[in-house]
Structure 1
């Protein structure tokens, strides 16, 4: 399954397996661990190895995540957003402004390479030396790339009980982010049907 940095950021809010919601970015240590786990997706944007989050960086990343999840909620509308977002969302205008502001914090210029016998390629050359600013800008630009790309049309909020994830629909009949959520949703439907049948039987007796 393809991974997107913006989706990974949004998915740091997740079901904790025990009926509640977990936040992988709740502490600076957890944020550092998440940054290191994204080294592959950050490759080419900046080296994540050795970057340690302090409380200030953690706060900035979680605020960027709030903007991203706000825009994800807009993307899946008129379907409901993730159930975790009821009290967390910004206005769409605030989210857009925040995302663009963070992306603009790292000045970059395009540079073209054209090796002999090969096709031309382009890369962005950064004029920013601060790794934390570069990280935040990279996350913001990844969200912009995601939201202007074709995958936005396939973005969904998982409707399984207790799940709070967004996912990119990979086939026409996909309803949930992963098989375990599908199993949980089917079990909940079965329980509701049985409960309704029991209630009807009690009413008739």
Structure 2
């Protein structure tokens, strides 16, 4: 378990899914069917840790180190996006129409990821020497952490409005609330641990019968 300002906190048991689902999966049940709900984004330091863990999947935002740690406002925005993505994931699995409110939350957040390339300041003055390192990326949103929020929202749009939505699954293990993209035909569980737990429970039932 990683240490944050909130002390030692358990990490989500599943990662490596699309960013949107990894955010959704920051709430999970620890302890199986009779376990307790855990929120891995309880304080702003937890959000900093989650962003650090997903740095490779997020846009390389050079201004972020100077932006300082996440604030309570940042945490609130990420949790609002998480709630919307969880509802859309649920509707996707259930093959229900997406609700207007969660769609609006995700779409609004996705606009924060707007960026464009520019020629860097060093190339001004009629020389190409300053352009040797390639274009400079500019972001419409000035807050780097909100840019990252937008990137997670874009991941959700691409997944839940694209062909990948057909692979979104809710873990079939009783008591589990995690989502994943079905990576192979026989995958039913978010992690092997959930599959093992189901098989052990099934074995005990068969022995009692």
- Relative to the length of structure 1, the TM-score reads 0.74
Is residue 6–residue 68 contact of structure 1 (8 Å, CA) maintained in 2? yes
Secondary structure class of the residue paired with 2:184: coil
1:60 to 68, 73, 77: 77
Aligned: 1:36 with 2:52: yes
Distance of aligned partners of 1:185 and 1:21 in 2 relative to their CA distance in 1, 3 Å threshold? same
Stretches of structure 1 that go unaligned for 5 or more consecutive residues are 80-90, 112-121, 198-205
Is residue 113–residue 154 contact of structure 2 (8 Å, CA) maintained in 1? no
Shift of 1:175: 0.9
Shift of 1:161: 2.8
Match of 1:23 in 2: 39
In the alignment, the residues of structure 2 paired with residue 174 and residue 97 of structure 1 have an alpha-carbon distance, to the nearest angstrom, of: 32
Is residue 20–residue 162 contact of structure 1 (8 Å, CA) maintained in 2? no
1:175 to 188, 192, 200: 188
Stretches of structure 2 that go unaligned for 5 or more consecutive residues are 1-14, 119-134
In the alignment, the residues of structure 1 paired with residue 172 and residue 22 of structure 2 have an alpha-carbon distance, to the nearest angstrom, of: 18
- Relative to the length of structure 2, the TM-score reads 0.73
Question: What are the residue-to-residue correspondences of 1:136-175 with 2, within 5 Å?
Answer: 136-175=149-188
Is residue 46–residue 134 contact of structure 1 (8 Å, CA) maintained in 2? no
Is residue 158–residue 167 contact of structure 1 (8 Å, CA) maintained in 2? yes
In the alignment, the residues of structure 2 paired with residue 156 and residue 8 of structure 1 have an alpha-carbon distance, to the nearest angstrom, of: 13
Matched pairs, number: 176
CA RMSD in angstroms comes to 2.8
Shift of 1:149: 3.0
Aligned: 1:14 with 2:63: no
Match of 1:86 in 2: none
